[in-house]
Amino acid sequence: MSHSHSPALVPADVFLLGGDLPVRRLGYGTAQLTGPGYWGPRGDRADAVAVLRAAVEQGVTLIDTADNYGPGLAEELVAEALRPYRDDLVIATKGGVVRTSDSAWHVAGRPERLRAMCEASLRRLRTDRIDLYQLHRLDPDVPMADQLGALDDLRREGKIRYIGLDTLSADQLEQALSLTGIASVQNRFNLLDRSSDAVLRMCEARGLAFLPWFPLANGALTGEAAASLTDVADRHGATRGQIALAWLLHRSSVVCPTPGTGSPRHLSENLGAREIRLSAEDLDRLEGLASA
């Protein structure tokens, strides 16, 4: 499907992935639909399906998942809940990491492995093309050109639309951009951890989506460590988590957070961050929370 938009007409809460594929900037991540360590199911399958459907009903158009959530389970849930996929729904998944237990992660970036992983994701998602296929980790034992070359081959074959990268430095992003077209970067970034700010600035300069993982600092932002959020939250009649997500949306127009949850109530709370407009005073107050 082809999309043509004038930048002047694109709403503030929409980002054009790859320059032409619109997504609402606050999306939904599926990791929390799986058990501890992203291993096995978290609870009743029907509840997970219901949360995914509720996300789309409440305006989410970007679903972020990965082949190793479960493993395989999260992608299966996405297909069960959301097929046939709506025309405006963008499915992002990741490959390049193999899980053998709830605490064991193995990077696997050989071209034949990446191809096999992508094709397995296509089967689980029950689709002919993945909108955004992200390399979950760069494999230090495989040349970057070989890893990205495998994804480029899959793109030329029509099996993926856009390539994304997860967890890399600014220098690595510069190298990747010299090898092929990149549509997104997914690095850890939140109010308490801004160590990837240089990567975010590169994404701004190049028009790449920046998908911050752990956007709520894995729960720390709603705990006592971030108690100074309370004043800003109270001013807006919001929760501290909502303010943390609103801060990300205010931080840059390329930031597309995909917070995850298995709770319908928490889902609605997260999505309420779209309506919060932070003032300059609010933003100044929140600047002091950074630890990096």
Phi-psi region of 123 (alpha: psi -120 to 50; beta: other; left: phi over 0): alpha
Helix axes 111-125, 73-82, angle to 10 degrees: 40
The CA-atom distances, in angstroms, between 25 and each of 123, 124, 147, 183, 271 are 27, 25, 28, 14, 10
Largest Cα separation within the chain, whole Å, is 53
Strand partners of residue 105? 99
In order, the DSSP letters of 221-273 are GGSGGGTTHHHHHHHHT--HHHHHHHHHHHH-TTB----B-S-HHHHHHHHGG
Strand partners of residue 94? 134
Name the pairing type of β-strands 62-64 and 28-29.
parallel
- Residues labelled as active-site residues: 69
Structure tokens at 163: 């390539």
Distance CA 287, CA 192 (A): 9
The single-letter DSSP state of residue 97 is E
In order, the DSSP letters of 110-171 are -HHHHHHHHHHHHHHHT-S-EEEEEESS--TTS-HHHHHHHHHHHHHTTSEEEEEEES--HH
SS3 state of residue 57? helix
